Structure 1
Amino acid sequence: MAFFPKPPEGSWTEHWPELGTAPVDYTDSIDPEQWKLEQQAIFRRCWLNVGRVERLPKKGSYFTKEMPSVGKGTSVIIVRDTDNEIRAFYNLCRHRGNKLVWNDYPGDEVSGTCRQFTCKYHAWRYSLKGELTFVQQEDEFFNLDKKDYGLVPIRCEVWEGFIFINFDDNAEPLIDYLGEFAKGLEGYPFHEMTETYSYRAEVNANWKLFIDAFTEFYHAPVLHQKQAVKEEAEKLFKYGYEALHYDIKGPHSMISSWGGMSPPKDLKMVKPIERVLRSGLFGPWDRPDIKGIAPDELPPAINPSRHHAWGQDSFEFFPNFTLLIWAPGWYLTYHYWPTDVDKHIFECTLYFVPAKNTRERLAHELAAVTFKEYAFQDANTLEATHTQIATGVVKEFPLCDQEILLRHLHKTAWDYVNAYKKEKGLLNGSDTSENGQAATAKKDIEKDSVNA
Structure 2
Amino acid sequence: MAFFKKPDVGSWTENWPELGTAPVNYEDSIDPEQWKLEQQAIFRKTWLQMGRIELIPKKGSYITRELPSVGPGTSIVIVNDGEQIRAFYNLCRHRGNKLVWNDYPGEETSGTCRQFVCKYHAWRYDLKGDLKFVQQEQEFFDLDKQDYPLKPVRCEVWEGFIFVNFDDDAVSLEEYLGEFGQGLKGYPFHEMTEHYSYRAEIKSNWKLFIDAFVEFYHAPILHMKQAEKEEAEKLAKFGFEALHYDIKGDHSMISSWGGMSPPKDLNMVKPIERILHSGLFGPWDRPDIKGILPDELPPAINPGRHKTWGQDSFEFFPNFTLLFWVPGWYLTYNYWPTGVDTHIFEADLYFVPPKNLRERLSQELAAVTFKEYAFQDANTLEATQTQIGTRAVLDFPLCDQEVLLRHLHHTAHKYVDRYKAELEAKSNGSSNGATTSSTTATQKDEVNA
TM-score, normalised with respect to structure 1? 0.93
Once the two structures are superposed, residues 302-333 of structure 1 have per-residue CA deviations (whole angstroms, 9 ceiling, x without a partner) of: 00000000000000000000000000000000
Measure how far apart 1:105 and its partner are.
Answer: 0.5
Q: CA deviation at 1:6?
A: 3.7
Which secondary structure does the structure 2 equivalent of 1:297 belong to? coil
Partner of 1:47: 47
1:219-238 map, 5 Å: 219-238=218-237
Aligned partner letter, 1:46: T
Q: Deviations over 1:134-156 (max 9, x none)?
A: 00000011111101111000000
List aligned pairs for 1:304-315, cutoff 5 A. 304-315=303-314
SS in 2 for 1:296: coil
Which amino acid is 1:195 matched to? Answer: E
What's 1:253 paired with?
A: 252
One-letter amino acid matched to 1:417? V
* 1:382-422 deviation line (CA, Å, top 9, x unaligned): 00000010111111110000000000000000000000000
Matched, 1:346 2:352: no
Report the AA paired with residue 23 of structure 2.
P
Distance in 1, matches of 2:291 and 2:240, equals 29
Q: Deviations over 1:12-39 (max 9, x none)?
A: 0001010000000111100000000000
Q: Are 1:7 and 1:15, in contact at CA under 8 Å, matched by a contact in 2?
A: no
Do 2:3 and 2:12's aligned partners in 1 also have CA atoms closer than 8 Å? no
What is aligned with 2:4?
7
**What is the distance in 2 between the residues matched to 1:7 and 1:18?**
18
Q: Report the equivalent of 1:408.
A: 407
- Counterpart CA distance in 2 for 1:203 and 1:372 is 14
| 1:396-452 per-position Cα deviation (integer Å, ceiling 9, x unaligned) | 11000000000000000000000000010189xxxxxx9x98xxxxxxxxxxxxxxx
Deviation readout 1:319-372 (Å, 9 max, x if unpaired): 000000000000000000000001000000000000000000000000000000
Letter in 2 for 1:56: I
Distance 1:291 1:142 in 2: 60
Which residue does the alignment assign to 1:76? 76
Whole-Å Cα distance in 2 between the matches of residues 308 and 426 of structure 1?
A: 52
Return the alpha-carbon distance in structure 2 between the equivalents of residues 107 and 293 of structure 1: 40
CA distance in 2, matches of 1:71, 1:211: 21
Partner of 2:93: 94
Q: How many angstroms apart in 2 are the aligned matches of 1:392 and 1:140?
A: 60
Any residues of structure 2 matched to 1:428-447 within 5 Å, and which? none
Name the structure 2 match of 1:116.
115
CA distance in 1, matches of 2:289, 2:2: 28
State whether structure 2 residue 267 is matched by structure 1 residue 268: yes
Aligned to 1:107: 106
Q: Which residue of 2 aligns with 1:393?
A: 392
1:25 aligned residue: 25
- Is 1:377 aligned to residue 376 of structure 2? yes
Q: Which amino acid aligns with 2:269?
A: V
Question: Which residue of the partner structure matches residue 36 of structure 1?
Answer: 36
Q: Distance in 1 between matches of 2:29 and 2:372?
A: 25
Contact 1:6 1:304 in 2 (8 A): no
Which residue does 1:448 correspond to in 2?
Answer: none
Q: Does the 8 Å CA contact 1:25/1:396 hold for their aligned counterparts?
A: yes
- 1:252-276 deviations in whole A, cap 9, x for unaligned? 0000000011100000000000000
After TM superposition, give the deviation of residue 8 of structure 1 in Å.
4.7
Instruction: Tell me if 1:419 matches 2:418.
Output: yes
How many Å separate the matches in 2 of 1:92 and 1:396?
44
- How far apart, CA to CA, are the structure 2 residues paired with 1:11 and 1:342? 32
* TM-score of the superposed pair, with normalisation by structure 2: 0.94
Provide the rounded CA distance (Å) in 2 between the counterparts of 1:73 and 1:6. Answer: 43
SS of structure 1 residue aligned to 2:295: helix
1:450 corresponding residue in structure 2: none
Deviation at 1:227, TM superposition (A): 1.3
C-alpha separation in 2, matches of 1:115 and 1:222:
53
Separation in 2 of the partners of 1:191 and 1:29?
37
Which digits, 9 at most, give the CA deviation of each residue in 1:166-224, with x for residues without a partner? 00000000000000000000000001000010010000000000000000000000000
Q: Mapping of 1:146-161 within 5 angstroms?
A: 146-161=145-160
- Once superposed, what is the RMSD of the aligned Cα atoms? 1.3
8 Å CA contact retained: 1:38, 1:417: yes
Q: Which residue in 1 is equivalent to 2:67?
A: 67
CA contact (8 A) 1:252 1:317 kept: yes
Deviations 1:26-62 (A, max 9, x none): 1110000000000000000000000011111100000
Which has the larger Rg?
A: 2
Look up the equivalent residue of 1:51 and give its one-letter code. Answer: G
2:439 counterpart residue number:
none
Q: What residue number does 1:449 align with? A: none
Aligned partners of 2:3 and 2:15 also within 8 Å: no
1:63–1:109 contact (8 Å) kept in structure 2: yes
Task: Give distance in 2, aligned partners of 1:212 and 1:408.
Answer: 10
Alignment partners' CA distance in 1, 2:260 and 2:328: 11
Q: Secondary structure at the match of 1:304?
A: coil
Give runs of ≥4 in structure 1 deviating > 2 Å: 4-10
- How many residues get paired? 426
Unaligned runs of 5+ in 1: 428-433, 438-452
Distance in 2 of aligned mates of 1:23 and 1:426: 31
**Distance across 1 between alignment mates of 2:360 and 2:413:** 44
Query: Are the counterparts in 2 of residues 331 and 352 from structure 1 also a CA contact under 8 Å?
Result: yes
Partner Cα distance (1:424, 1:23) in 2 = 29
The share of aligned pairs that are identical, in percent, is 77
User: For 1:75-96, what per-residue CA distance to the aligned partner results, in whole angstroms no more than 9, with x for missing partners?
Assistant: 01000003x2000000000011
Q: Is the 8 A contact 1:69 1:338 kept in 2?
A: yes
CA distance in 2, matches of 1:251, 1:396: 23
- Counterpart amino acid of residue 350 in structure 1: L
- Secondary structure of 1:89's counterpart equals strand
